[in-house]
Each structure stands twice: as C-alpha cells, then as structure tokens.
Amino acid sequence: MLVLVAPGQGAQSPGFLTPWLEDPVFRSRFEWLSAVAGLDLVHYGTEADAETIRDTRIAQPLLVASGLVAALELFPHPADAFGMIGAVAGHSVGELTAAAGARAITAEQAMVLVRERGNAMAEAAAVTPTSMTAVLGGDRDEVLAALARHGLTPANDNGPGQIVAAGTVEQLAALAADPPAKARLMPLSVAGAFHTDHMTPAVDRMASLARAVSTHDPRTVVISNADGNVVHDGRDVLTRIVGQIARPVRWDLCLETMRDLGVTGILEMPPAGTLTGIAKRQLKGVETFALKTPDQLDDARAFCQRHGESSQINTTPTWRMIVSPAKGTFHLDDAASAAAELAARATIGTVSSLRDHTAVTAPHGGTVVEWLVEDGDLVSPGQPLLRLHPMGAA
C-alpha cells in the first residue's frame, strides 16, 4: 500500500522551488494558486531568504501550493492517483494539502484557507513571543515531565525520540537550561507556539470561515493528526483541521495507523525529507521516497507503481459508505442493527482497541442497503462497515 504525506511548517528552505519552476506547466499552475492566495509565491520559493519564508503568513501557503502542484506533476491524470494511493496524511498545515489531494476540498479552497490560517496564526503568535523546540532522544516519560515542569506543550508527538515542545520564549529558554537527560534540543524555524492554547484565537477565526466551505467525502483514506483515525466525512476532515491549530499533532498515532493499514511505501511531497526521515526510524521495513526535485519524477512514478493499491473506500460511491476510523473490534449498536433507515449522525457502533473506544456514525444518514461486517468482527482502518442509500435519492 502507498501513502502520500505532506510536510508541515519548518520543512521549507530558500530556493527549494527553483528547479520546479523551470517547467512552464508547473509554473503556470503555481502562479494560479499564488493568485488565489494573493502572494508572490514564485518569489518566496526561489529568491527569498530563510528568515522571510519563516514568516507563518508566507510559509504555510508556500508549502500547500508546492505540494498540490507537485502532486499534479506526479499524476498528470489525477484520476490515475486514486487507483494507486491507499491513504494520505499531512503534518500540521500539510493536512490541507492532503485534504485537497483526497478531493475533500478543492485546491482553491485549500489556498484560501491556508492564507487565512497563516494570517490568523501569525496574529495569535504576535500576542506573546513564542516558538518551538524539537526534543530528540531521551526517555519519553522524562521528556514529558520536563515539558510539564516548564509549562510547555508537547505540540508535535512524532514518535519515540522526537517530541516538539512549544511555549513562550522564556519557557523554552528554561528548558534549554534544564534539559531532559540524554536528550538533544533543536530550536525550530517557526514563528510561534503552534498547536497550543496560544493559537486559540486562530481557531475561532478559522472555524467561522470553515462553516462557509462546501466539502465532499474524500476519495481515499485520510489519516487525521488529532488521533490517527481514518476520517471519511468531508465536513469532519475540515473541522478536525481547524481544531488542530490549537491541539497537539499526534503524528505518532498517524504512523501507527499506517502500520495497521499495511503500508509498504511512503512518498513525501516537496519540500520533502522530514516525514520520510521519521518514517525510516519508526516504520522499519517500509520503503520511503522523498520527492525533492523534478528530476526524480520518473523514479517517483515507478515507486508509486510498485506500491500502488487503491483504498477500500474507492470501490463504490464514497457518499454511500461508512468506514472504520481505526483498527479494533467492531461492536454493532443494537438500535442501528434493527433499523431500516438511519438519521444523519446516528451511531452505528463502536470500534474498540486497547487504546480507546471510537464511536462510528452515519454522517449523512440513509436507507440501510447492506451491513458489510458483523458484531465482534475485527476491522482495519478505512474498512467499509455499512452501505447506505441516501435519503431522498431515486
């Protein structure tokens, strides 16, 4: 199975788009998304220095536009992608890239949202001087205890040996003076304490905007930063992306879900390297590909052919299918099992694992056509559970 991943803020570097923009097709598409964002992203991706593209207002649209246009270079006929991609995931702002790639939202909607996200987060960050520091190595419990001692938030949990601390500049300075044993600290090139309570004003702003965005159920499995669950309702995809602005990124749980899905290959969109580096450490035996420059495209396409396998939810119209959010045991809801029709948001059951119990709902409601699992069945992330015929459909 092939998973495409999109990196988050901090992955950008000066001039990383220069070789890509030599292609006139890439350039024209990129200029279009730049126009939608209202920013000269061509300049920022080729000529601007590191400090300039560190600005949240610039970095976030730059990353999303780069990933989306590179995906069109990788799959010149986008419909071909859904026959090969088993799942998508994005780290932090990369979730917008993933959502657009899965067709939950359009590329233009993603660019408007990321522009406003960057502005809102920059404004929230300007209230108090804040930043983030990667804590590499050390005992996990000791690292978390040290962060709590200094009032810091584990804003990114990227798996064993890599937790990103976020908070005020003073709190991070105190951590540097009193680091966890056997851990190395690496300040990140970001301009705020993202994924913490410092970003709450940005959530409020984005939630208001998101209510006006039309969504579609994704065409392939989307893995959420919130808890690693598979999300198949387009509105839920967007709601989670908005809420994640002020909540920790659980990339460790996303990696667990990839393992549960049986991933064999992970391809990272440009500017690539960060997420494939994490995957190499955490998912031993899984092949990775960091797409950095256009001269790698032929090799990247061969990688996709080698690992490609369409997601289970692409076999029937997605708006009629309810899928499992996680790996575990499915417990059927008694009322749902006896119902001929289900109302929107009705609970159909739960998926239970050693970690948690996740309720499964029917986002759109409809007439029950076929149950695809039974009570007590073991299920995998994204596995179809129930087929519904939409209410009112002919």
Nearest Cα to 238, choosing from 86, 365, 109? 109
* Dist CA 274 CA 272 (whole Å): 6
Task: Pick the catalytic residue from 34, 66, 91, 92.
Answer: 92
For the chain, what percent of residues have pLDDT higher than 70? 97
What pLDDT is recorded for position 78? 73
**Assigned token pair, 348:** 């159909």
Nearest Cα to 70, choosing from 277, 267, 345? 267
Nearest Cα to 290, choosing from 74, 31, 78? 74
For the chain, what percent of residues have pLDDT higher than 90? 87
For residue 172, pLDDT over 90 is answered with: yes
Task: Pick the catalytic residue from 34, 66, 131, 195.
Answer: 195
Is residue 195 part of the annotated active site? The answer reads yes
DSSP-derived letter for residue 356 is -
Q: 284-314 burial, b for 16+ CB within 10 Å, e for fewer?
A: eebbbbbbbebebbeebbebbeebbbbbbbb
Q: What is the pLDDT of residues 227-267, one digit of tens each?
A: 999 999 999 999 999 999 999 999 999 999 999 999 999 99
Nearest Cα to 65, choosing from 36, 89, 90? 36
Nearest Cα to 233, choosing from 358, 113, 319? 319
* Dist CA 320 CA 71 (whole Å): 27
Q: What is the pLDDT of residues 95-129, one digit of tens each?
A: 999 999 999 999 999 999 999 999 999 999 999 99
Of the pLDDT bands very low, low, confident and very high (cuts 50, 70, 90), residue 5 is very high
Superfamily of domain 2-124+197-313: Malonyl-Coenzyme A Acyl Carrier Protein, domain 2 (3.40.366.10)
Q: What number is the average pLDDT over the span 14-32? A: 97
**Assigned token pair, 146:** 């040290």
DSSP-derived letter for residue 249 is B
* DSSP-derived 3-state class of residue 228: coil
What pLDDT is recorded for position 318? 52
What pLDDT is recorded for position 77? 80
CATH architecture label of 125-187: 2-Layer Sandwich (3.30)
* Dist CA 114 CA 152 (whole Å): 26
Q: What is the pLDDT of residues 46-83, one digit of tens each?
A: 999 999 999 999 999 999 999 999 999 999 887 778 88
Is residue 92 part of the annotated active site? The answer reads yes
Helix axes 234-243, 200-210, angle to 10 degrees: 160
Nearest Cα to 350, choosing from 383, 375, 320, 314? 375
Nearest Cα to 350, choosing from 334, 332, 364, 371? 332
What pLDDT is recorded for position 375? 96
User: Which residue ranges make up each domain of the chain?
Assistant: 2-124+197-313, 125-187, 317-389
Spatial contact of 110 and 80, defined as CB atoms under 8 Å apart: no
pTM above 0.85, yes or no: yes
What pLDDT is recorded for position 278? 94
Q: What is the pLDDT of residues 275-318, one digit of tens each?
A: 999 999 999 999 999 999 999 999 999 999 999 987 766 544 55
Q: Is the link from the previous residue into 180 a cis peptide, with omega within 30 of 0? A: no
- Chain position carrying tokens 């967007």: 238
Q: What number is the average pLDDT over the span 143-148? A: 96
Nearest Cα to 274, choosing from 132, 137, 91, 42? 91
Q: Could you confirm whether domain 317-389 is CATH 1.25.40.10? A: no
Amino acid identity, residue 21? L
Q: Which of 42-51, 301-310, 335-344, 383-392 has the lowest mean pLDDT?
A: 383-392
Q: What is the pLDDT of residues 310-335, one digit of tens each?
A: 776 654 455 678 999 999 999 999 99
* Dist CA 161 CA 277 (whole Å): 13
Same fold, 2-124+197-313 and 317-389: no
Q: What number is the average pLDDT over the span 203-215? A: 95
Q: Across the chain, how many H-helices and E-strands are there?
A: 15, 18
What pLDDT is recorded for position 148? 96
Helix axes 274-282, 251-261, angle to 10 degrees: 60
